[in-house]
Amino acid sequence: MLSAAVILTIFLGFWGVVVKRNLIMKILSMDVMSTGVIAFFVIWAARSGVFTPIYKPWRQVDYADPVPQGIILTAIVIGLSVQALMLVGVMKLSRNHPTLEVESIEQAVASGAQSTSTDD
C-alpha cells in the first residue's frame, strides 16, 4: 500500500514534468518526483525494521538499514542544489519571458535561432 502510493507519487511527478506548461510547475513536479524517490529509499530502508540505526548494545530491536538512508541524504542535497540552480535560471529567463510558458519560450528560441542562421 505504502509503496504503491510512493510509486504513484513518482509517476505523478514525472507526468507533471511532461504535461505541465509552466516552467515553475515543471520544476515543482520534478520536486514531487524526487520526493517520491526519496520516500522509495526510506521505505526500502525500513524493510528490516523501523528503529533509527544508532546502535546501542542494550537495545535488541530491528534497526532500519542505514545504507539507503545515507545514500539518499546525498541525493537530497544534490536535488536541492540542482533545483536552486534551475530556479535562478528561471528567474533570469522571466526577465524576457514573464509568463514562463514553455511553448512561448521555445518559439522565441527557435525564431532566434533562425534569425541568426540567416544573418550568417
Binding residues (CB under 8 A) for other proteins: these are: 10, 14, 17-19, 23, 26, 30, 33-34, 37, 40-41, 44, 47, 67-68, 71-72, 74-75, 78-79, 81-82, 85-86, 89-90, 92-93, 96-97, 102-103, 105-106, 108-109, 112-113, 115-117, 119-120
Q: What's the min distance (Å) between Cβ of 105 and other proteins?
A: 6
Using DSSP, state whether 102 is helix, strand or coil: helix
91: its cell numbers: 528567474
Q: Which is nearer to other proteins, 19 or 51 (CB)?
A: 19
Q: What is the gyration radius of the CA atoms in the chain, in angstroms?
A: 21
Helix, strand, coil % over all residues of the chain, rounded to 5: 70, 5, 25
